[in-house]
Structure 1
Amino acid sequence: MKFNGWILSFLLLICSDVLAKLPEQSAVPGGVVILPVGSIEETKPDVRFEDKPVMVVKADGLWQAVVGVPLSAKAGTLRVVVKRGEEKSTQLFSIKDKQYPTQYITVKDKRKVNPNSLDMKRINQESSRIQQALTAWTDTDSETVNFIWPVKGRVSGLFGRRRVFNGEPRKPHSGMDIAAKTGTPIQAPASGIVRGTGNYFFNGNTVFIDHGQGLITMFCHLNRIDVKDGQTVNQGDIIGTVGATGRVTGPHLHLGVSLNDERVEPRLFFPPESELK
Protein backbone atom coordinates (compact mmCIF):
# COMPACT_ATOMS: atom_id res chain seq x y z
CA MET A 1 0.00 0.00 0.00
CA LYS A 2 1.33 3.41 -0.94
CA PHE A 3 1.01 6.56 1.14
CA ASN A 4 1.21 10.15 0.09
CA GLY A 5 4.12 12.02 1.62
CA TRP A 6 1.96 14.04 3.99
CA ILE A 7 0.17 10.93 5.28
CA LEU A 8 3.51 9.24 6.02
CA SER A 9 4.75 12.35 7.80
CA PHE A 10 1.56 12.43 9.88
CA LEU A 11 1.96 8.77 10.89
CA LEU A 12 5.59 9.33 11.85
CA LEU A 13 4.56 12.30 13.98
CA ILE A 14 1.98 10.20 15.81
CA CYS A 15 4.47 7.37 16.38
CA SER A 16 7.13 9.73 17.65
CA ASP A 17 4.67 11.14 20.20
CA VAL A 18 3.60 7.68 21.38
CA LEU A 19 7.21 6.56 21.69
CA ALA A 20 8.39 9.76 23.36
CA LYS A 21 11.02 8.77 25.88
CA LEU A 22 11.18 10.59 29.19
CA PRO A 23 13.96 10.39 31.78
CA GLU A 24 13.65 7.87 34.56
CA GLN A 25 11.74 9.30 37.50
CA SER A 26 13.46 9.56 40.87
CA ALA A 27 11.74 11.66 43.54
CA VAL A 28 14.84 12.46 45.60
CA PRO A 29 17.23 15.41 45.89
CA GLY A 30 19.07 15.64 42.56
CA GLY A 31 16.40 13.54 40.88
CA VAL A 32 13.62 14.12 38.34
CA VAL A 33 9.86 14.16 38.92
CA ILE A 34 7.34 13.85 36.09
CA LEU A 35 3.91 15.42 36.67
CA PRO A 36 0.86 15.24 34.37
CA VAL A 37 -0.39 18.81 33.91
CA GLY A 38 -3.23 18.46 31.43
CA SER A 39 -4.56 16.82 28.31
CA ILE A 40 -2.81 17.51 25.00
CA GLU A 41 -6.22 18.61 23.72
CA GLU A 42 -5.70 21.67 25.91
CA THR A 43 -3.18 24.39 25.24
CA LYS A 44 0.32 23.79 26.52
CA PRO A 45 0.59 25.15 30.08
CA ASP A 46 3.38 27.26 31.49
CA VAL A 47 4.88 25.47 34.50
CA ARG A 48 7.22 27.03 37.06
CA PHE A 49 9.23 25.55 39.89
CA GLU A 50 10.83 28.01 42.30
CA ASP A 51 10.06 30.76 39.74
CA LYS A 52 12.02 28.94 37.03
CA PRO A 53 10.43 27.61 33.81
CA VAL A 54 9.97 23.84 33.62
CA MET A 55 10.13 21.51 30.62
CA VAL A 56 6.65 20.45 29.43
CA VAL A 57 6.34 17.66 26.84
CA LYS A 58 3.72 15.45 25.21
CA ALA A 59 3.68 11.87 26.47
CA ASP A 60 0.92 9.27 26.94
CA GLY A 61 -1.72 11.67 25.69
CA LEU A 62 -0.90 14.27 28.34
CA TRP A 63 1.21 17.34 28.87
CA GLN A 64 3.90 16.21 31.29
CA ALA A 65 6.06 18.54 33.37
CA VAL A 66 9.60 17.23 33.77
CA VAL A 67 10.99 18.80 36.95
CA GLY A 68 14.60 18.79 38.09
CA VAL A 69 14.80 18.55 41.89
CA PRO A 70 17.56 20.55 43.63
CA LEU A 71 20.35 18.49 45.16
CA SER A 72 19.91 20.66 48.27
CA ALA A 73 16.18 19.86 48.61
CA LYS A 74 14.91 18.38 51.87
CA ALA A 75 12.48 15.47 52.09
CA GLY A 76 8.89 16.67 52.05
CA THR A 77 6.38 18.39 49.80
CA LEU A 78 7.33 20.67 46.93
CA ARG A 79 5.12 22.45 44.43
CA VAL A 80 4.93 23.69 40.88
CA VAL A 81 2.74 26.50 39.59
CA VAL A 82 0.73 25.62 36.47
CA LYS A 83 -0.61 28.49 34.37
CA ARG A 84 -2.86 28.20 31.34
CA GLY A 85 -4.08 31.57 30.09
CA GLU A 86 -5.52 33.44 33.06
CA GLU A 87 -5.96 30.25 35.09
CA LYS A 88 -3.32 29.41 37.68
CA SER A 89 -3.10 26.40 39.97
CA THR A 90 -0.62 24.71 42.27
CA GLN A 91 0.38 21.07 41.99
CA LEU A 92 2.14 19.33 44.87
CA PHE A 93 4.64 16.48 44.79
CA SER A 94 6.70 14.71 47.43
CA ILE A 95 10.36 13.75 47.53
CA LYS A 96 12.14 11.31 49.79
CA ASP A 97 15.49 11.78 51.47
CA LYS A 98 18.64 10.31 49.95
CA GLN A 99 22.02 10.10 51.63
CA TYR A 100 24.85 10.37 49.14
CA PRO A 101 28.23 8.87 50.14
CA THR A 102 31.35 10.93 50.79
CA GLN A 103 34.33 10.88 48.43
CA TYR A 104 37.81 11.82 49.60
CA ILE A 105 40.09 13.26 46.90
CA THR A 106 43.71 14.41 46.97
CA VAL A 107 44.58 17.20 44.54
CA LYS A 108 48.25 18.06 43.99
CA ASP A 109 47.56 21.64 42.86
CA LYS A 110 46.60 23.19 46.21
CA ARG A 111 45.27 26.33 44.51
CA LYS A 112 42.49 24.19 43.02
CA VAL A 113 41.33 23.62 46.60
CA ASN A 114 42.20 27.00 48.16
CA PRO A 115 42.32 29.58 45.34
CA ASN A 116 44.26 32.79 45.89
CA SER A 117 42.76 36.27 45.41
CA LEU A 118 43.55 36.40 41.69
CA ASP A 119 42.05 32.94 41.24
CA MET A 120 38.89 34.06 43.05
CA LYS A 121 38.56 37.07 40.75
CA ARG A 122 38.71 34.74 37.76
CA ILE A 123 36.29 32.27 39.35
CA ASN A 124 33.74 35.01 40.05
CA GLN A 125 33.95 36.26 36.47
CA GLU A 126 33.50 32.74 35.13
CA SER A 127 30.49 32.05 37.35
CA SER A 128 28.27 34.46 35.43
CA ARG A 129 29.24 32.86 32.11
CA ILE A 130 28.52 29.39 33.45
CA GLN A 131 25.19 30.52 34.88
CA GLN A 132 24.22 32.08 31.56
CA ALA A 133 24.82 28.76 29.82
CA LEU A 134 22.93 26.73 32.42
CA THR A 135 19.86 29.00 32.31
CA ALA A 136 19.55 29.00 28.51
CA TRP A 137 15.97 28.37 27.38
CA THR A 138 14.89 27.34 23.89
CA ASP A 139 11.15 26.84 23.37
CA THR A 140 10.10 23.58 21.74
CA ASP A 141 6.65 21.96 21.52
CA SER A 142 7.93 18.48 22.17
CA GLU A 143 11.09 17.08 23.68
CA THR A 144 12.24 13.49 23.91
CA VAL A 145 15.17 12.22 25.91
CA ASN A 146 16.98 9.61 23.88
CA PHE A 147 20.58 10.29 24.87
CA ILE A 148 23.63 8.24 23.93
CA TRP A 149 26.73 8.07 26.13
CA PRO A 150 29.29 10.69 25.02
CA VAL A 151 32.23 8.35 25.70
CA LYS A 152 32.80 4.80 26.82
CA GLY A 153 34.86 4.13 29.92
CA ARG A 154 34.86 3.41 33.64
CA VAL A 155 32.60 5.41 35.93
CA SER A 156 35.09 7.00 38.31
CA GLY A 157 32.87 9.48 40.13
CA LEU A 158 29.17 9.36 40.93
CA PHE A 159 26.66 12.20 41.07
CA GLY A 160 25.75 13.70 44.44
CA ARG A 161 28.75 12.49 46.40
CA ARG A 162 29.83 14.84 49.16
CA ARG A 163 33.42 15.62 48.29
CA VAL A 164 36.36 16.31 50.56
CA PHE A 165 39.40 17.75 48.78
CA ASN A 166 42.69 17.50 50.69
CA GLY A 167 40.72 17.07 53.90
CA GLU A 168 38.44 20.08 53.28
CA PRO A 169 34.70 19.66 52.56
CA ARG A 170 33.45 21.19 49.31
CA LYS A 171 30.21 21.20 47.29
CA PRO A 172 28.66 17.85 46.30
CA HIS A 173 29.58 16.40 42.91
CA SER A 174 27.15 17.88 40.38
CA GLY A 175 27.74 15.31 37.63
CA MET A 176 29.31 11.94 36.97
CA ASP A 177 32.89 11.19 35.91
CA ILE A 178 33.82 8.75 33.17
CA ALA A 179 37.51 7.82 33.05
CA ALA A 180 38.96 7.56 29.53
CA LYS A 181 42.28 8.14 27.81
CA THR A 182 43.32 11.67 26.87
CA GLY A 183 42.24 12.36 23.31
CA THR A 184 39.20 10.05 23.36
CA PRO A 185 36.50 11.66 21.15
CA ILE A 186 33.39 12.96 22.93
CA GLN A 187 30.03 12.68 21.16
CA ALA A 188 27.02 14.96 21.56
CA PRO A 189 24.44 12.83 23.42
CA ALA A 190 21.58 14.41 21.44
CA SER A 191 20.98 17.26 19.04
CA GLY A 192 21.16 20.79 20.37
CA ILE A 193 22.84 24.18 20.25
CA VAL A 194 26.22 24.95 21.82
CA ARG A 195 25.50 27.62 24.45
CA GLY A 196 29.00 28.13 25.79
CA THR A 197 32.59 27.00 25.51
CA GLY A 198 35.70 28.05 27.34
CA ASN A 199 38.45 27.27 29.79
CA TYR A 200 37.40 27.58 33.42
CA PHE A 201 39.41 27.46 36.65
CA PHE A 202 37.75 24.37 38.13
CA ASN A 203 36.05 22.84 35.07
CA GLY A 204 38.91 23.23 32.60
CA ASN A 205 37.93 23.18 28.92
CA THR A 206 34.15 22.99 28.90
CA VAL A 207 31.23 22.72 26.46
CA PHE A 208 27.53 23.33 27.21
CA ILE A 209 24.81 22.00 24.89
CA ASP A 210 21.22 23.32 25.01
CA HIS A 211 18.74 20.54 24.13
CA GLY A 212 15.65 22.69 24.60
CA GLN A 213 13.31 23.70 27.42
CA GLY A 214 16.01 24.10 30.04
CA LEU A 215 17.73 20.76 29.43
CA ILE A 216 21.48 21.42 29.27
CA THR A 217 24.35 18.96 29.14
CA MET A 218 27.80 19.94 30.38
CA PHE A 219 31.17 18.43 29.45
CA CYS A 220 34.25 19.38 31.50
CA HIS A 221 38.04 18.83 31.66
CA LEU A 222 38.35 18.47 27.88
CA ASN A 223 41.74 18.29 26.21
CA ARG A 224 40.36 19.91 23.06
CA ILE A 225 37.13 21.70 22.13
CA ASP A 226 35.88 21.10 18.57
CA VAL A 227 32.72 23.24 18.52
CA LYS A 228 31.87 26.95 18.75
CA ASP A 229 29.25 28.97 20.60
CA GLY A 230 25.94 28.99 18.74
CA GLN A 231 26.79 25.95 16.64
CA THR A 232 24.06 23.37 16.02
CA VAL A 233 25.13 19.80 16.72
CA ASN A 234 23.47 16.49 15.96
CA GLN A 235 23.52 13.37 18.07
CA GLY A 236 26.88 11.67 17.66
CA ASP A 237 28.78 14.75 16.47
CA ILE A 238 32.25 15.09 18.00
CA ILE A 239 32.36 18.09 20.33
CA GLY A 240 35.90 17.62 21.70
CA THR A 241 38.22 15.12 23.36
CA VAL A 242 38.78 13.82 26.89
CA GLY A 243 41.49 15.58 28.85
CA ALA A 244 42.72 16.52 32.31
CA THR A 245 42.23 20.30 32.45
CA GLY A 246 40.94 22.15 35.52
CA ARG A 247 40.66 20.46 38.93
CA VAL A 248 41.40 16.82 38.19
CA THR A 249 43.47 13.88 39.36
CA GLY A 250 43.66 12.29 35.91
CA PRO A 251 42.04 12.28 32.45
CA HIS A 252 38.27 11.86 32.51
CA LEU A 253 35.03 13.42 31.32
CA HIS A 254 32.82 15.19 33.84
CA LEU A 255 29.30 14.76 32.45
CA GLY A 256 26.65 17.03 33.91
CA VAL A 257 22.92 17.41 33.24
CA SER A 258 20.99 20.53 34.21
CA LEU A 259 17.19 20.73 34.16
CA ASN A 260 15.36 23.95 35.06
CA ASP A 261 18.77 25.18 36.29
CA GLU A 262 19.13 22.31 38.76
CA ARG A 263 21.96 19.80 38.45
CA VAL A 264 20.41 16.34 38.38
CA GLU A 265 21.50 12.70 38.19
CA PRO A 266 22.82 12.13 34.62
CA ARG A 267 22.10 8.40 34.72
CA LEU A 268 18.34 9.12 34.67
CA PHE A 269 18.73 10.34 31.07
CA PHE A 270 21.08 7.74 29.61
CA PRO A 271 20.99 4.04 28.66
CA PRO A 272 22.16 1.39 31.16
CA GLU A 273 25.77 1.75 32.29
CA SER A 274 26.54 -1.62 30.67
CA GLU A 275 26.64 0.34 27.39
CA LEU A 276 29.59 2.35 28.72
CA LYS A 277 31.90 -0.65 28.36
Structure 2
Amino acid sequence: MRFHALLLMAASLLLPSLTCAQGYISRLLHQPVPGGVAVVGLGAAEQVPQVFYKKDRVMVVRDSDQAWIAIVGIDLKTAPGAQTLQVKSSQGDRTMDFQVQAKHYKSQHIKLKNQSHVTPDPAQTKRFEREYAEQMKAYANFRQSGPSNVSLDKPVEGRLSSPFGLRRFFNGQERNAHSGLDFAVPAGTPVKAPADGVVTIVADYFFNGKTVFIDHGQGFITMYCHLSAFQVEQGQEVKRGQVIGLVGATGRATGPHLHWNVSLNNTRVDPAIFINAFTP
Protein backbone atom coordinates (compact mmCIF):
# COMPACT_ATOMS: atom_id res chain seq x y z
CA MET A 1 0.00 0.00 0.00
CA ARG A 2 2.81 2.36 0.89
CA PHE A 3 4.53 1.66 -2.48
CA HIS A 4 1.26 2.29 -4.31
CA ALA A 5 0.79 5.61 -2.48
CA LEU A 6 4.31 6.66 -3.43
CA LEU A 7 3.55 5.90 -7.08
CA LEU A 8 0.42 8.06 -6.96
CA MET A 9 2.36 10.88 -5.36
CA ALA A 10 5.07 10.67 -8.00
CA ALA A 11 2.48 10.71 -10.77
CA SER A 12 0.81 13.79 -9.28
CA LEU A 13 4.17 15.58 -9.22
CA LEU A 14 4.83 14.69 -12.85
CA LEU A 15 1.46 15.79 -14.21
CA PRO A 16 2.13 19.54 -14.14
CA SER A 17 5.40 19.13 -16.06
CA LEU A 18 3.65 16.93 -18.64
CA THR A 19 0.97 19.58 -19.09
CA CYS A 20 3.58 22.33 -19.47
CA ALA A 21 5.38 20.28 -22.12
CA GLN A 22 2.66 21.36 -24.53
CA GLY A 23 3.61 24.88 -25.54
CA TYR A 24 1.51 28.02 -25.69
CA ILE A 25 1.05 28.03 -29.48
CA SER A 26 -0.10 24.41 -29.45
CA ARG A 27 -2.74 25.15 -26.83
CA LEU A 28 -3.85 28.29 -28.65
CA LEU A 29 -4.10 27.11 -32.26
CA HIS A 30 -4.73 23.36 -32.29
CA GLN A 31 -8.23 23.02 -33.80
CA PRO A 32 -7.88 20.06 -36.23
CA VAL A 33 -11.18 20.32 -38.12
CA PRO A 34 -12.00 21.07 -41.78
CA GLY A 35 -11.06 24.73 -42.18
CA GLY A 36 -9.04 24.58 -38.97
CA VAL A 37 -5.43 24.20 -37.84
CA ALA A 38 -3.44 21.19 -36.67
CA VAL A 39 -0.37 21.80 -34.52
CA VAL A 40 1.98 18.81 -34.80
CA GLY A 41 4.97 18.38 -32.48
CA LEU A 42 8.29 17.72 -34.22
CA GLY A 43 10.67 17.37 -31.28
CA ALA A 44 13.58 19.52 -30.13
CA ALA A 45 16.21 19.03 -32.86
CA GLU A 46 18.90 21.70 -33.20
CA GLN A 47 18.07 22.42 -36.84
CA VAL A 48 14.60 23.40 -38.00
CA PRO A 49 12.82 20.57 -39.87
CA GLN A 50 11.13 21.12 -43.22
CA VAL A 51 7.50 19.98 -43.39
CA PHE A 52 5.22 19.49 -46.39
CA TYR A 53 1.49 18.81 -46.54
CA LYS A 54 0.02 17.84 -49.90
CA LYS A 55 3.14 19.28 -51.60
CA ASP A 56 2.80 22.68 -49.91
CA ARG A 57 5.44 23.88 -47.45
CA VAL A 58 4.19 24.19 -43.86
CA MET A 59 5.09 26.79 -41.25
CA VAL A 60 7.50 25.48 -38.58
CA VAL A 61 8.30 27.50 -35.45
CA ARG A 62 9.53 26.89 -31.92
CA ASP A 63 6.82 26.76 -29.29
CA SER A 64 7.17 28.17 -25.77
CA ASP A 65 8.62 24.84 -24.59
CA GLN A 66 11.35 25.17 -27.27
CA ALA A 67 10.07 22.18 -29.26
CA TRP A 68 9.59 22.56 -33.02
CA ILE A 69 5.97 22.50 -34.16
CA ALA A 70 4.31 22.40 -37.58
CA ILE A 71 1.29 24.71 -37.91
CA VAL A 72 -0.84 23.11 -40.61
CA GLY A 73 -3.82 24.66 -42.39
CA ILE A 74 -6.60 22.15 -43.17
CA ASP A 75 -8.80 22.68 -46.22
CA LEU A 76 -12.51 23.19 -45.59
CA LYS A 77 -13.34 20.21 -47.85
CA THR A 78 -11.11 17.77 -45.95
CA ALA A 79 -12.92 14.66 -44.72
CA PRO A 80 -12.49 13.57 -41.09
CA GLY A 81 -9.72 11.02 -40.56
CA ALA A 82 -5.96 10.69 -40.79
CA GLN A 83 -3.79 13.14 -42.75
CA THR A 84 -0.07 12.77 -43.41
CA LEU A 85 2.85 15.20 -43.25
CA GLN A 86 6.24 14.71 -44.91
CA VAL A 87 9.06 15.76 -42.58
CA LYS A 88 12.67 16.36 -43.66
CA SER A 89 15.24 16.84 -40.91
CA SER A 90 18.87 16.18 -40.01
CA GLN A 91 17.68 12.85 -38.60
CA GLY A 92 16.33 11.82 -42.01
CA ASP A 93 12.98 11.85 -43.78
CA ARG A 94 9.82 10.54 -42.16
CA THR A 95 6.05 10.85 -42.25
CA MET A 96 3.80 11.94 -39.41
CA ASP A 97 0.02 11.59 -39.17
CA PHE A 98 -2.57 13.80 -37.51
CA GLN A 99 -6.30 13.32 -37.14
CA VAL A 100 -8.96 15.65 -38.57
CA GLN A 101 -12.19 15.80 -36.58
CA ALA A 102 -15.68 16.57 -37.94
CA LYS A 103 -17.29 20.01 -37.84
CA HIS A 104 -20.66 21.25 -39.14
CA TYR A 105 -20.99 24.64 -40.81
CA LYS A 106 -24.27 26.53 -41.26
CA SER A 107 -25.76 28.11 -44.40
CA GLN A 108 -26.29 31.77 -45.28
CA HIS A 109 -28.65 33.29 -47.88
CA ILE A 110 -27.69 36.70 -49.27
CA LYS A 111 -29.73 38.95 -51.58
CA LEU A 112 -27.66 41.06 -53.99
CA LYS A 113 -28.99 43.95 -56.08
CA ASN A 114 -26.18 43.58 -58.64
CA GLN A 115 -26.92 40.30 -60.45
CA SER A 116 -23.49 40.40 -62.13
CA HIS A 117 -21.99 39.63 -58.70
CA VAL A 118 -23.90 36.34 -58.90
CA THR A 119 -23.53 35.47 -62.58
CA PRO A 120 -20.81 37.64 -64.19
CA ASP A 121 -20.87 38.25 -67.94
CA PRO A 122 -17.96 36.91 -70.09
CA ALA A 123 -15.86 40.07 -69.73
CA GLN A 124 -16.36 40.12 -65.97
CA THR A 125 -15.55 36.41 -65.77
CA LYS A 126 -12.29 36.99 -67.63
CA ARG A 127 -11.42 39.78 -65.22
CA PHE A 128 -12.24 37.58 -62.21
CA GLU A 129 -10.07 34.74 -63.55
CA ARG A 130 -7.11 37.11 -63.93
CA GLU A 131 -7.63 38.50 -60.44
CA TYR A 132 -8.06 35.01 -58.98
CA ALA A 133 -4.72 33.91 -60.49
CA GLU A 134 -3.00 36.92 -58.89
CA GLN A 135 -4.40 36.01 -55.50
CA MET A 136 -3.52 32.32 -55.79
CA LYS A 137 0.08 33.28 -56.60
CA ALA A 138 0.23 35.46 -53.48
CA TYR A 139 -1.24 32.71 -51.29
CA ALA A 140 1.30 30.17 -52.59
CA ASN A 141 4.33 32.31 -51.71
CA PHE A 142 6.63 30.99 -48.98
CA ARG A 143 9.15 33.38 -47.42
CA GLN A 144 11.72 31.68 -45.19
CA SER A 145 11.51 34.24 -42.39
CA GLY A 146 8.93 33.42 -39.76
CA PRO A 147 6.06 35.61 -38.56
CA SER A 148 6.49 38.14 -35.74
CA ASN A 149 3.51 36.54 -33.95
CA VAL A 150 0.91 33.84 -34.65
CA SER A 151 -1.54 34.97 -31.98
CA LEU A 152 -3.08 37.79 -34.01
CA ASP A 153 -4.66 41.09 -33.07
CA LYS A 154 -8.10 41.79 -34.48
CA PRO A 155 -7.71 44.00 -37.57
CA VAL A 156 -10.71 46.03 -36.35
CA GLU A 157 -12.71 46.11 -33.13
CA GLY A 158 -16.36 45.29 -33.77
CA ARG A 159 -19.07 42.68 -33.93
CA LEU A 160 -18.28 39.43 -35.74
CA SER A 161 -21.01 38.92 -38.34
CA SER A 162 -20.61 36.19 -40.96
CA PRO A 163 -18.34 33.43 -39.59
CA PHE A 164 -15.93 31.28 -41.55
CA GLY A 165 -17.22 28.21 -43.41
CA LEU A 166 -20.81 29.27 -44.11
CA ARG A 167 -22.37 27.65 -47.17
CA ARG A 168 -23.38 30.75 -49.10
CA PHE A 169 -26.33 31.24 -51.42
CA PHE A 170 -26.43 34.46 -53.47
CA ASN A 171 -29.91 35.19 -54.85
CA GLY A 172 -30.71 31.52 -54.32
CA GLN A 173 -27.61 30.19 -56.10
CA GLU A 174 -24.96 28.33 -54.08
CA ARG A 175 -21.41 29.61 -54.36
CA ASN A 176 -18.14 28.88 -52.55
CA ALA A 177 -18.28 28.66 -48.76
CA HIS A 178 -17.29 31.76 -46.82
CA SER A 179 -13.50 31.67 -46.64
CA GLY A 180 -13.01 34.37 -44.03
CA LEU A 181 -14.45 36.21 -41.08
CA ASP A 182 -16.60 39.35 -41.37
CA PHE A 183 -16.57 42.28 -38.95
CA ALA A 184 -19.65 44.53 -38.99
CA VAL A 185 -18.08 47.96 -38.51
CA PRO A 186 -18.80 51.42 -39.96
CA ALA A 187 -17.32 52.68 -43.21
CA GLY A 188 -14.06 54.49 -42.61
CA THR A 189 -12.99 52.35 -39.64
CA PRO A 190 -9.16 51.98 -39.70
CA VAL A 191 -7.93 48.45 -40.48
CA LYS A 192 -4.71 47.46 -38.70
CA ALA A 193 -2.10 44.82 -39.52
CA PRO A 194 -2.34 42.00 -36.93
CA ALA A 195 1.37 41.11 -37.32
CA ASP A 196 4.49 42.34 -39.10
CA GLY A 197 4.68 41.56 -42.79
CA VAL A 198 5.15 42.61 -46.40
CA VAL A 199 2.26 43.94 -48.53
CA THR A 200 2.00 41.75 -51.63
CA ILE A 201 -1.30 42.95 -53.15
CA VAL A 202 -3.01 46.33 -53.25
CA ALA A 203 -5.78 46.09 -55.84
CA ASP A 204 -9.43 46.78 -56.66
CA TYR A 205 -11.03 43.41 -57.49
CA PHE A 206 -14.41 42.54 -59.02
CA PHE A 207 -15.74 40.46 -56.12
CA ASN A 208 -13.44 41.52 -53.26
CA GLY A 209 -13.43 45.25 -53.96
CA LYS A 210 -10.42 47.17 -52.68
CA THR A 211 -8.13 44.46 -51.30
CA VAL A 212 -4.84 44.21 -49.40
CA PHE A 213 -2.72 41.08 -48.90
CA ILE A 214 -0.02 40.87 -46.21
CA ASP A 215 2.63 38.13 -46.25
CA HIS A 216 3.71 37.45 -42.65
CA GLY A 217 6.27 34.76 -43.57
CA GLN A 218 6.35 30.97 -43.98
CA GLY A 219 3.10 30.85 -45.96
CA PHE A 220 1.16 32.81 -43.32
CA ILE A 221 -0.93 35.25 -45.41
CA THR A 222 -3.81 37.55 -44.48
CA MET A 223 -6.30 39.31 -46.78
CA TYR A 224 -8.53 42.35 -46.20
CA CYS A 225 -11.47 43.02 -48.56
CA HIS A 226 -14.19 45.59 -49.37
CA LEU A 227 -12.01 48.51 -48.25
CA SER A 228 -12.93 52.09 -49.09
CA ALA A 229 -9.31 53.33 -49.18
CA PHE A 230 -5.72 52.08 -49.03
CA GLN A 231 -3.07 53.26 -46.59
CA VAL A 232 -0.21 51.09 -47.91
CA GLU A 233 1.54 50.25 -51.18
CA GLN A 234 2.59 46.96 -52.74
CA GLY A 235 6.02 45.88 -51.49
CA GLN A 236 5.81 47.97 -48.33
CA GLU A 237 6.88 46.47 -45.01
CA VAL A 238 4.30 46.96 -42.28
CA LYS A 239 4.40 46.59 -38.53
CA ARG A 240 1.86 45.10 -36.17
CA GLY A 241 -0.83 47.69 -35.43
CA GLN A 242 -0.09 49.83 -38.51
CA VAL A 243 -3.15 51.10 -40.40
CA ILE A 244 -3.34 49.51 -43.85
CA GLY A 245 -6.72 50.77 -45.08
CA LEU A 246 -10.24 51.86 -44.23
CA VAL A 247 -13.41 49.76 -44.07
CA GLY A 248 -15.83 50.13 -46.97
CA ALA A 249 -18.42 48.30 -49.06
CA THR A 250 -16.62 47.87 -52.40
CA GLY A 251 -17.01 44.75 -54.55
CA ARG A 252 -19.61 42.12 -53.67
CA ALA A 253 -20.85 43.60 -50.41
CA THR A 254 -24.32 44.45 -49.10
CA GLY A 255 -23.00 47.09 -46.70
CA PRO A 256 -19.86 48.33 -44.94
CA HIS A 257 -17.85 45.56 -43.31
CA LEU A 258 -14.39 44.02 -43.29
CA HIS A 259 -13.89 40.57 -44.77
CA TRP A 260 -10.68 39.13 -43.32
CA ASN A 261 -9.13 35.83 -44.15
CA VAL A 262 -6.08 33.86 -43.05
CA SER A 263 -4.12 31.36 -45.12
CA LEU A 264 -1.57 28.71 -44.08
CA ASN A 265 0.28 26.45 -46.55
CA ASN A 266 -1.91 27.84 -49.37
CA THR A 267 -5.09 26.90 -47.48
CA ARG A 268 -7.75 29.26 -46.17
CA VAL A 269 -8.50 28.63 -42.50
CA ASP A 270 -10.77 30.08 -39.82
CA PRO A 271 -9.36 33.46 -38.65
CA ALA A 272 -11.28 33.09 -35.38
CA ILE A 273 -8.67 30.53 -34.27
CA PHE A 274 -5.96 33.20 -34.24
CA ILE A 275 -7.93 35.75 -32.17
CA ASN A 276 -9.22 33.27 -29.56
CA ALA A 277 -12.79 33.43 -30.90
CA PHE A 278 -13.14 29.92 -32.37
CA THR A 279 -16.33 27.92 -31.70
CA PRO A 280 -15.78 24.13 -31.93
**TM-score, length of structure 2 as denominator length:** 0.87
Give identity over the alignment, percent: 43
Distance 1:142 1:124, change over 3 A: closer
List runs of 5+ in structure 2 lacking aligned partners. Answer: 1-21
Q: Which amino acid aligns with 1:83?
A: K
Distance 1:185 1:142, change over 3 A: closer
Give the Cα–Cα distance (whole angstroms) in 1 for the partners of residues 275 and 234 of structure 2: 24
For 1:25, the equivalent position in structure 2 comes to: 30
Give the Cα–Cα distance (whole angstroms) in 1 for the partners of residues 23 and 164 of structure 2: 28
Shift of 1:42: 2.8
For 1:79, the equivalent position in structure 2 comes to: 84
**Residues 211 and 224 in structure 2, CA contact (< 8 A), matched pair in contact too:** yes
For 2:62, the equivalent position in structure 1 comes to: 58
Q: Is it true that 1:210 corresponds to 2:191 in the alignment?
A: no
User: 1:217-228 alignment to 2 at 5 Å?
Assistant: 217-228=222-233
Give the Cα–Cα distance (whole angstroms) in 2 for the partners of residues 230 and 19 of structure 1: 33
**Residues 147 and 218 in structure 2, CA contact (< 8 A), matched pair in contact too:** no
Count of residue pairs the alignment pairs up: 255
Deviations 1:78-97 (A, max 9, x none): 00000114821110111111
The match for 2:94 among 89, 93, 99 is: 89
Q: Which amino acid aligns with 2:35?
A: G
* Residue aligned with 2:275, SS: coil
User: 1:105-116 alignment to 2 at 5 Å?
Assistant: 105-116=110-121
User: 1:100-139 alignment to 2 at 5 Å?
Assistant: 100-139=105-144
User: 1:167-206 alignment to 2 at 5 Å?
Assistant: 167-206=172-211
RMSD: 1.7
Deviations 1:222-275 (A, max 9, x none): 0001111110101111100000001011000001000001000101111459xx
Deviations 1:100-151 (A, max 9, x none): 0000111110000000000011011111111111112111267531311111
Q: Which amino acid aligns with 1:233?
A: V
Shift of 1:167: 0.3
Q: Which amino acid aligns with 2:114?
A: D
For 2:244, the equivalent position in structure 1 comes to: 239
Give the Cα–Cα distance (whole angstroms) in 1 for the partners of residues 148 and 82 of structure 2: 27
For 2:47, the equivalent position in structure 1 comes to: 43
Shift of 1:38: 2.3
Q: Is it true that 1:251 corresponds to 2:256 in the alignment?
A: yes
Give the Cα–Cα distance (whole angstroms) in 2 for the partners of residues 213 and 128 of structure 1: 20
**Residues 136 and 214 in structure 1, CA contact (< 8 A), matched pair in contact too:** yes
Stretch moving more, 206-215 or 264-273? 264-273
**TM-score, length of structure 1 as denominator length:** 0.88
Shift of 1:33: 0.3
**Residues 146 and 216 in structure 2, CA contact (< 8 A), matched pair in contact too:** no
List runs of 5+ in structure 1 lacking aligned partners. Answer: 1-17
For 1:3, the equivalent position in structure 2 comes to: none
Q: Which amino acid aligns with 1:147?
A: L
The match for 1:262 among 258, 262, 267 is: 267
For 1:156, the equivalent position in structure 2 comes to: 161
**Residues 227 and 248 in structure 2, CA contact (< 8 A), matched pair in contact too:** yes
Q: Which amino acid aligns with 1:42?
A: E
Distance 1:20 1:228, change over 3 A: farther
**Residues 118 and 171 in structure 2, CA contact (< 8 A), matched pair in contact too:** yes
**Residues 20 and 58 in structure 1, CA contact (< 8 A), matched pair in contact too:** no
For the pair shown, the structure with the greater C-alpha radius of gyration is 2
For 2:4, the equivalent position in structure 1 comes to: none
Q: Is it true that 1:140 corresponds to 2:178 in the alignment?
A: no
* Residue aligned with 2:210, SS: strand
Give the Cα–Cα distance (whole angstroms) in 2 for the partners of residues 264 and 203 of structure 1: 18
